[in-house]
Structure 1
């Protein structure tokens, strides 16, 4: 990547520049879905969990799901078009490709993937929600955005997100 990863303020500027409404709640760092569930009463909408995966040919995927969704990792490669079974991407590759650390993985990290090396896949169940919540590149906040605006954001960052039925 070469450049420093973007900061939350860079994300907010990009969203503002695209005319996308967003709201951010700052909170103590959360590293897992379980830790972040205490925030549900304060933040309306669907909350996300993210899987950074790699296939046998070295292709990377960011799978974005509703936090309670379940996934069959032994079969997901059939659904997402991966080459053979997938494994989790290494933390150093996560930083190199998406500019975030484990625990802060987010769909908004697509803005750090300027070369478009990561395929973004959104679970169809998640996209039924009107509002989607994700970390703004750090796990010390949650940013809310309309699901339709998320598609605009991803397209404007050079990604053609696929909406697929991932969850079981």
Structure 2
């Protein structure tokens, strides 16, 4: 799976920098265990709507909290919640701890809607796991945009609401 991602990046001439590190499951662990890397640190939430019919991959700055109640209407949903590990595996081929924007390469049915916080969209580069939590890629903004296009995804760029 990871090798398929690298093949996709290389085949499409999408530049990136790769950093290996011990396994990390949270942003706090990443801050403690990962080397300094160029790019905005990210946190990824895999959500579904109240009926479990729509799925969202929401990418925000690593230090951000998300107000799910306020986010739902921005996504034209009655409510949103964290999706189960089973949904994550079915939709993106991932297990908890490895959720990443790069998993859109596994969403060949385009069933997952991509939502990116404006602060990350405006960053020169972002950091993302390459489908495993033992490495991180630094992706220049243009690489991120082109990667989403290659996977057939359009990002909804919004100011993701934070709790008051």
TM-score normalised by structure 1 residue count: 0.91
| CA gap 1:136/1:144 in 2 versus in 1, 3 angstroms | same
In structure 2, list runs of 5 or more residues that go unmatched: none
Residue in structure 1 matching 2:18, options 19, 24, 45: 24
Query: What is the correspondence of 1:1-20 to structure 2 with a 5 Å cutoff?
Result: 7-20=1-14
SS in 2 for 1:64: strand
| Worse-superposed segment, 34-43 or 56-65 | 34-43
What's the CA shift for 1:118? 0.3
Corresponding residue of 2:50: 56
Q: 1:134 aligned to 2:128?
A: yes
Does residue 151 (structure 1) correspond to residue 145 (structure 2)? The answer is yes
The alpha carbon displacement at 1:164 in A equals 1.0
Residue among 28, 32, 47 paired with 1:34: 28
**Equivalence map 1:100-115=2 (5 Å):** 100-115=94-109
Shift of 1:142: 0.4
TM-aligned CA deviation for residue 80 of structure 1: 2.1
- Residue 137 of structure 1 aligns to a residue in which SS? coil
Structure 1 unaligned spans of 5+? 1-6
- For residues 26-105 of structure 1, the aligned pairs below 5 Å read 26-39=20-33, 41-57=35-51, 58-81=53-76, 83-105=77-99
- Alignment: residue pair count: 161
Give the aligned CA root-mean-square deviation in angstroms. Answer: 1.3
